[in-house]
């Protein structure tokens, strides 16, 4: 069990580091400045060390992750988070209605009801837009 928790923290640390760089923060001190945390705390988080939940919340906010998604992942209540729950065009357009609904439920369980609703609304809007462009009314729903 402890090995799984250690592995989860290591994966989360790698995600934090990767996301920091993708956000244009080349150095840890950039993320430290954005969060108000010390560089040593950022370094610990990126290496997968145990850090306070409040620390994770501050990093989530600075890197634009849904609040609570890091803790949910570490507690085994969700997948490794990504930046929000916006659907991507190719997958949404090929999913069945059941798959869309199931995915929305998963998003809701991981990121909360607002994100689940937003995912479904965005997905349906994409499908309607595609249907309007192609004249395929079946695709919209």
Distance of CA 37 to the CA centre of its chain: 21
- Residue spans of the domains in the chain: they are 2-74, 89-140
User: 105-123 pLDDT, tens per residue?
Assistant: 887 777 678 878 888 888 8
3-state SS record for 33-47 = HHHCCCHHHHHHHHC
What pLDDT is recorded for position 117? 84
The topology (CATH level 3) of 2-74 is 434 Repressor (Amino-terminal Domain) (1.10.260)
Question: Which tops the pLDDT comparison, 67 or 87?
Answer: 67
């Amino acid at each position: 069990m402890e090995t799984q928790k250690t592995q989860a923290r290591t994966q989360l640390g790698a995600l934090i580091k990767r996301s920091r760089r993708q956000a244009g923060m080349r150095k840890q001190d950039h993320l430290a400045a954005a969060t108000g945390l010390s560089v040593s705390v950022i370094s610990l988080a990126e290496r997968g060390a145990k850090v306070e939940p409040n620390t994770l919340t501050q990093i989530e906010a600075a890197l634009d992750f849904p609040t609570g998604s890091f803790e949910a992942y570490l507690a085994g209540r969700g997948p490794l988070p990504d930046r929000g729950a916006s659907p991507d065009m190719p997958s949404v357009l090929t999913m069945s209605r059941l798959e869309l609904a199931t995915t929305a439920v998963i998003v809701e369980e991981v990121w909360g009801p607002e994100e689940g609703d937003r995912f479904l609304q965005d997905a349906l809007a994409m499908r309607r837009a595609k249907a309007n462009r192609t004249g395929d009314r079946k695709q919209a729903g």
